[in-house]
Structure 1
Amino acid sequence: MDGDKAHTFRRYEDGADHDDWDLEEKIFQQDTSYKCPTYIHRTPPCQGSCPAGEDIRGWLNIVRGIEQPPVLESGEQMDWKDYAFLRSTDANPFPAIMGRVCPAPCQDGCNRNEVEQNVGINAVEHFIGDHALETGLKLRAPGADTGKSVALIGGGIASLTAAYQLRRKGHACTIFEAHDKLGGMMRYGIPGYRTPRDVLDGEIQRVLDMGVEVKTGVKIGVDISLEQIEKDYDAVFVGIGAQSGTPIPIPGAGEAANCITGVAFLEAFNDGRLQHGSQKVLVIGGGDTAMDVAAVARRLGHITHSHEQDRPEYVVLGHTAHDVATVAKRDGADVKVIYRRPVEKMPATEMEVKHVREEGVEIHGSLVPVEVMLGEDGRARALKVAKADWSSGKMEIIENSEHEIEADLIVAAIGQAGDLKGLEELDNGRGLVNATGHFQWPDRENIFVAGDIVKPHLLTTAVGQASIAAEAIDHYLKHESLGKLPKVNVHHFNLLEKLKESGHAPAEYQHVQTDGTDSANWAVHNYEDRSYNQIVPADELFLGHWKHEARFDRKEVEIGPDSVLGHFGERILGPNAEEAREEADRCMSCGMCFECDNCVIYCPQDAVFRVKKSDRTTGRYVDTDYGKCIGCHICADVCPSGYIKMGLGE
């Protein structure tokens, strides 16, 4: 917790007067008001911060035992681990991968940060994903066949997610991939020890098992024209990613073969061609790709005596491939990372920076590349840099600060673009493709696009965009208006679906005028869903309910400078079931009742009561007898999750 921010368990300060209490809004007369409580479902900030829009609160409440799984046809209740998997994969079919590599912006948004530390959401997702693979769980079944077909260009996470969501809606899907394997940046852009191949292949296969056709080794625009694809399919989804790196725009860089891009370096490593690197590796950039390049370079090391054709740049450029037998001769590599801004401003995740430093990588900030210095053989021998001063808020080069850093391999991880050969009409001039809010290509209504080719970002961003695009494709194929996107565009908990699932669906409404609607069994009473336009903030929770509990941090394999060479095993170890449940129990269930009983216990009028056990389910645990309620606001004040709002009667 921030040291200068004292957490308080008190809602009101000593000496607070009526102005502090804002009683005009509450309209108290003695201890009563005309406002009565209603139950308001809102989106939690973890979900609002998740680019994929996962129902994080939902699957955390399942893991902790609050939300109960449905009863199967056999009469047995579904296992909570299986149910958590189904809920998490409503939005994202790759929990095992995301639990390992997602930088977890959801945790930055977590309201628990106002108490001590965020909930370890990634750790719980890691457990859910691994459990599903270990037990062979399948994704939800595809929908009824619609007779419509969609071509998906590219086999990365965006296309795989779109195919998953489209199959759930019953549309036929065919993925076209230029490589011989699916996975995109999950396979070729992230080191394999961070996305283990058995995990990646298992999660991809689940999507294909839904009836997705795959054609690998086919590049649209080269082997088949986009025009032909448009004729053969009812809609087209473009998810080709941004798998072309940006070269260093400084003198000398374009002339040196040993100046390569981070994307090309990682692809050569991940497809097995690059088995050893160089002795002095210099990485330019401050993002996660730069950290991955540096970490891989330390693991690969170098071979002192090797043939010229075995130099890493020739392997990366595709001219040759390394013999696996030579790796036994390799020695360690000196790896440095330079970034033009201060180190603390690097966009790489804190964990990635910590790891590479522990593994022996040097990181230098406020250094600006000036020129690649060439040797007599035409290869780069050093990088000339200048020191930068950022104290004014903008970059100012320090006079006479230029100096050289020796290197025999310079890797630029400073940006990415798409390979749009044959698809030039889609190019927006920056090597990317424009998209509307529905992720439809503005120039043609039958073409949709999502993922890094729109703007390089996180894997989970591609998942979220692809889900929106799949929804838009579904509307397009049905000749429906795409409509207006909700303010909070995530995968929302649906109380009506939950009531149906638990056998408490409302009776059918007869559409006739009637009295006594406050007790009618065809309506859902005393509940309002504001999740489509509101995220519940921390200041509307009763933080005093929560005791300080340390976050569960996953165990890590210790990898130091002396043990990193040749270490290609996983570094982060997932939790077991007990650890996952304990960490999920730290969730504050923001915006949804988690059955703490505070409102029942503290109501002075006994107006708030538990719903009968036979009738209760998530979101329907408590109710209010308005004949007894005096509008004292106590139930709302002691609600830890912000689920109760005073307003009924306005």
Structure 2
Amino acid sequence: MATASDDMTKLSWRRFEDGDNVWDKLTDKIFVQDTSHKCPTYVHKTPPCQGSCPSGEDIRGWLQIVRGLEQPPKGMTWQEYAFLRSTDANPFPALMGRVCPAPCQAGCNRNEVEDFVGINAVEQFIGDTAIANGYRFPAAPALSGKRIAIIGGGPAGLAAAYQLRRMGHASTIFEANTALGGMFRFGIPGYRVPRDKLDAEIQRILDLGDIEVQFNMRVGTNITIEQLEKDFDAVLWAIGCQSGRGLPVPGWKDTPNCVSGVAFLKAFNEGRMKVTAEKVVCVGGGDTSIDVVSVARRLGHINRTGQSEVPERVIHDGYVAHDAVTAAKAEGATVTLTSLFTRDKMTAAEHEVHDALYEGVTVLDGVMPLEVLKNAAGRAIGLKVADCTVQPDGRPVAIDGTERVLDADLIVSAIGQGGDLTGLDAMDNGRGFINADKFFQVPDKQGHFVAGDIVRPHLLTTAIGQAWVAAQSVDAYLQDHDQPKRPKIDVHHFDLLNKLREAELAPESFSPAERGDLRGTSEGNWAVHNFEDRGSAEVIPHDELFLGHFNYQPRRVRQEEVPSAEEVLGHFKERVIGFTDADAVAEAKRCMSCGMCFECDNCVIFCPQTAVYRVDKSERTTGRYVATDYAKCIGCHICADVCPTGYIKMGLGE
């Protein structure tokens, strides 16, 4: 009788197929004949989620805490412990859990089973819970007596101030705007980054103390580089990229109603622009362009706009602002997004593109701009476009016969950003950016360091990760230490010795002079028994895991309140609905703990010699759950075959 389809498992993955007990090649058979002496060793590797995270977060670590596998220290809740682990690398869990495009999820090995772990959703839960419960960072250490000038109070600048204060260094942030946050505040709409969450996560950094902030201070205008070098022990540049690129087509330059996406969003986020134009065309395809068109749909337009009310006047001027009465008259706007690339190759997150379509945005993919058309008064009235193909070198080529005009009252370019280095010629590399070496030092400028978009525009999480490396470089410079070699996998690694110290299980100190040469012994408690940490050198791929261990378990998807095309006008409520405790725990349990034991007991159960055993409860902690009695082990490698996480390797004896 055939098995009904409903009764069949959704997974059919097997580590070994029928017949795999026979070697295909004689050379392979000969090669393995002498491997029976090999016994298991426990090898920690970096999971691909963490290896894919530009901030280098210990993602596996805080997921282990949320799921209840790694226990917090006495007197601390698991929620606070997860918060402290996640913020070791990134002090903005509530924000990044909402807006990060999550390269970690693309790298997740669980994609080989059914779907990635919802890392972003769990991170948002950690951040929101921390704010709701008033969690704070541990008290900062005593001051070193050094003070660093940080130029820019955006994600990179704030992250650098945070990491430096944890190293004992004070800082002064010079911010050109009237508030901290950078792209968090001025580049992303409030319905994606709630301002109460933003303010809370910034304040928590400032509460560490000895982080001074000076607003409306533009270096190169209000203060010179020479003065900074005189007053501070080091300078860290984190000015971001606040200048948007215009379209490289005829008719764009100096046309008043042709604006950059950066300027458009800044005018909206500062509360100055409350309505937009009747027909908005945005050229882009990335996350910034999605924010532009989503904001335009929410703002709408008004008829009979006076000269002071046209959106470009508000965007360009910086002082003119719409009033609330203007916004109350708003009607829906027709909004179109064009992209050189087809939807599958657009850099914007797929769900963001889907939401924009649902909200009534027209998306034209595979389309390139050709020319801005203007009326007699010099204002843009349309954008001439054509279908295109993108060549291997990235150059778009128009397809003859597909030219057409998109009517427009406002044209927005969201095709990239650049730095504003006015008055900072000494720092400009000639391309509008600041050069950096692998340690994020500015070459040939002693005492100057750099992080974030001004190095190369990329993700918010990239800027935060660079700030961590730059802060370490500043610390080495201030202590007059040589820069240590950065690890191949440069992230915040799980450290078993630190975990053992936390659990009061650290090995005893060992002095060869006192105890003699005892290498090779496993009798004394002077080292971690047969544990090897390769986390700084290797990311564990899915083919080292035993995927057959994992059952089909659909991802828990965060709920979103996305307005329809009919509801979007004036809709500024947050879209994302965060996880409950139960949701977060259940989703964290889908983590496969790649490269680290998660206490499944497979090796203990399947060992035919009872050689693999659980470490005594009094000595057990994360990373120290099982060990091997090598007097019993026969090198059969069954434990390695059934290890779901790839943590056991047949290496001892090589």
Which bin holds the TM-score, normalised by the shorter protein? over 0.9
Q: Distance in 2 between matches of 1:415 and 1:407?
A: 21
Question: Closer, same or farther in 2 for the Cα pair 1:84/1:20, shift >3 Å?
Answer: farther
Shift of 1:507: 1.0
Per-residue CA shift, 1:302-323, capped at 9, x if unaligned?
A: 0112211110000001251111
Residue 391 of structure 1: CA displacement? 8.9
Does the Cα contact within 8 Å between 1:27 and 1:34 map onto a contact in 2?
A: no
What's the counterpart of residue 33 of structure 1?
A: 36
Kept in 2: contact 1:7–1:114 (CA 8 A): no
Hey, what's the Cα distance between the residues in 1 that align with 2:475 and 2:286? 35
8 Å contact from structure 2 (residues 48, 107) kept in 1: yes
Query: Which residue of the other structure, out of 585, 588, 591, is the alignment partner of 2:592?
Result: 588
Is 2:370 the counterpart of 1:365? no
Distance in 2, matches of 1:233 and 1:337, equals 46
Question: Hey, what's the Cα distance between the residues in 1 that align with 2:405 and 2:479?
Answer: 61
Match among 143, 146, 149 for residue 145 of structure 1: 143
1:466 aligns with 467
Once the two structures are superposed, the pairs formed by residues 395-474 of structure 1 within 5 Å of their partners are 395-474=396-475
Question: What are the equivalent positions in structure 2 for 1:205-284 lying under 5 Å apart?
Answer: 205-211=203-209, 212-284=211-283
Cα distance per residue 1:277-331 (max 9 Å; x no partner):
0000000111100000000000000011221111000000125111122211100
Q: Which is further off, 38-47 or 420-429?
A: 420-429
* CA shift for structure 1 position 24: 4.8
- Amino acid paired to 2:196: D
Equivalent residue for 1:115, pick from 90, 113, 116: 113
User: 1:44–1:20: structure 2 CA closer, same or farther, 3 Å change rule?
Assistant: farther
Question: In 2, Cα distance between the equivalents of 1:484 and 1:391?
Answer: 39
Q: Structure 2 counterpart of 1:266, which letter? A: L
Query: Post-superposition shift, 1:27?
Result: 3.2
Structure 1: give runs of 5+ residues left out of the alignment: 1-5
- What is the alpha-carbon distance in structure 1 between the residues aligned to residue 192 and residue 578 of structure 2? 12
How do 1:28-67 and structure 2 match up within 5 A? 28=33, 33-67=36-70
The answer to whether residue 307 in structure 2 is matched with residue 308 in structure 1 is yes
Residues 406-457 of structure 1: CA deviation (Å, up to 9, x unaligned):
0000000011011111112111122111111111111212111010111111
- In structure 1, what is the Cα distance between the partners aligned to 2:441 and 2:254? 39
Distance 1:422 1:220 in 2: 8
Tell me the distance in 2 between the aligned counterparts of 1:24 and 1:159: 58
The answer to whether the 8 Å contact 2:86/2:93 transfers is yes
Mapped to 1, the partners of 2:365 and 2:189 lie a distance apart of 24
Specify the SS of the correspondent of 2:277: coil
Please give the secondary structure, in 2, of the residue aligned with 1:443: coil
- CA change 1:506–1:25 in 2 (3 A) is farther
Deviation of 1:25 after TM superposition, in Å, equals 8.4
Q: Which of 619, 636, 644 is the aligned partner of 1:632?
A: 636
**Structure 2 CA distance, aligned partners of 1:25 and 1:150?**
62
Give the 3-state SS of the residue equivalent to 2:264 in structure 1: helix
For residues 495-506 of structure 1, the aligned pairs below 5 Å read 495-506=496-507
CA-to-aligned-CA distance 1:573-628 (integer Å, 9 cap, x gap): 11000000000000000011111100000000000000010110000000100000
Letter in 2 for 1:226: I
Contact kept, 8 Å, 2:67 with 2:589, in 1: the verdict is: yes
Answer yes or no: is 1:321 the counterpart of 2:328.
no
How far does residue 392 in structure 1 lie from its aligned partner after superposition? 8.7
Retained in 2: the 8 A contact 1:220–1:226?
A: yes
d(CA) in 1 for partners of 2:389 and 2:79?
52
State the AA in 1 paired with 2:359: E
Name which of structure 1's ranges 8-17 and 270-279 shifts more when overlaid on structure 2: 8-17
Q: 2:531 aligns with which of 521, 527, 531?
A: 527
Conserved 8 A contact 1:120-1:583: yes
C-alpha contact (below 8 Å) 2:176/2:215 kept by paired residues:
yes
Counterpart position of 2:384:
384
Alignment CA distance shift 1:38-1:184 (3 Å): same
Residues 26 and 35, structure 1, Cα contact 8 Å, conserved in 2: no
Using the alignment, how far apart are the partners of 2:342 and 2:108 within structure 1? 27
Q: 2-side partners of 1:335 and 1:25: how far apart? A: 68
Alpha-carbon separation, structure 2, partners of 1:255 and 1:238: 31
- 1:175 aligned counterpart, secondary structure: strand
Q: Which residue of 2 aligns with 1:3?
A: none
Q: Deviations over 1:456-490 (max 9, x none)?
A: 11110001000010111111111111122110000
> Could you report, residue by residue, the CA deviation over 1:335-367 in whole angstroms, capped at 9, with x for unpaired residues?
001112223221111111011001000010222
1:203 partner amino acid: E
Alignment check: 8 A CA contact 2:500 2:621 kept: yes
Give the share of equivalent positions with the same residue, in percent.
Answer: 58
Quick one: which of 168, 177, 184 aligns to 1:186? 184
The structural deviation recorded for 1:17 is 4.6
In 2: Cα distance, 1:128 partner to 1:499 partner: 24
- Which of 155, 160, 167 is equivalent to 1:157? 155
Moved more, 386-395 or 338-347: 386-395
Q: Distance in 2 between the 1:522 and 1:261 partners?
A: 61
2:217 and 2:543 map into 1 onto residues whose CA distance is 53
1:540 paired to 2:544: yes
Give 2:79's aligned residue: 81
Query: Per-residue displacement from partner, 1:546-568 (whole Å, max 9, x unpaired)?
Result: 00000010011131000000001
Contact 2:355 2:562 in 1 (8 A): no
Residue 331 of structure 1 corresponds to 331
TM-score normalized by the length of structure 1: 0.96
Alpha-carbon distance between aligned partners in 1 of 2:288 and 2:357, rounded to the nearest angstrom: 15
How far off is 1:28 after superposition? 4.5
The amino acid that maps onto 1:322 is H
Q: 1:496 offset after TM fit, Å?
A: 0.5
Matched, 1:70 2:73: yes
Q: Does the 8 A contact of 1:26 with 1:33 survive in 2?
A: no
The SS at the match of 1:60 is helix
Match for residue 7 of structure 2?
none
2:391 & 2:224 partners in 1: Cα distance? 52
DSSP 3-state at the match of 1:122: helix
> For residue 478 of structure 1, what is the amino acid of its counterpart?
Q
Q: Which runs of 5+ in 2 are unaligned?
A: 1-9
What is the letter of the counterpart of residue 581 of structure 1?
A: V
Matches within 5 A, 1:333-352: 333-352=333-352
User: Match for residue 375 of structure 2?
Assistant: 375
Amino acid at match of 2:568: V
| Corresponding residue for residue 6 of structure 2 | none
State the SS of the aligned residue for 2:127.
helix
Q: CA deviation at 1:401?
A: 2.7
Superposed CA deviations along residues 113-136 of structure 1, whole A, max 9, x for unmatched, are: 000000000010010000000011
Distance in 1 of aligned mates of 2:123 and 2:48: 17
CA contact 2:597–2:623 (8 Å) conserved in 1: yes
The residue that corresponds to 1:560 in the other structure is 564
Amino acid aligned to 1:550: P
State how far apart, in whole Å, the 1-side matches of 2:21 and 2:497 are: 42
**2:16, 2:596 → 1: CA distance?**
24
SS across alignment from 2:337: strand
Count of aligned pairs between the two proteins: 638
* TM-score, with structure 2 as normaliser: 0.95
Change over 3 Å in CA distance of 1:303–1:17 after alignment to 2: same
* Contact 2:386 2:404 (8 Å CA) reproduced: yes
Q: Which of 380-389 and 572-581 deviates more?
A: 380-389
Structure 1 418/396 Cα, relative in aligned 2: closer, same or farther at 3 Å? closer
Instruction: Answer yes or no: is 1:602 the counterpart of 2:600.
Output: no
What CA RMSD, in Å, does the superposition of the two structures yield over aligned residues? 1.6
Partner of 1:127: 125
Following the alignment from structure 1 to structure 2, what is the Cα–Cα distance between the partners of residues 275 and 9?
54
The separation in 2 between residues aligned to 1:238 and 1:16, in whole angstroms, is: 57
Q: Could you say which residue in structure 2 is the equivalent of 1:103?
A: 101
Alignment-mate amino acid for residue 257 of structure 1: P
Structure 1: which amino acid aligns with 2:266? E
Question: Which amino acid is the alignment partner of residue 600 of structure 1?
Answer: V
Q: Distance in 2 between the 1:565 and 1:25 partners?
A: 72
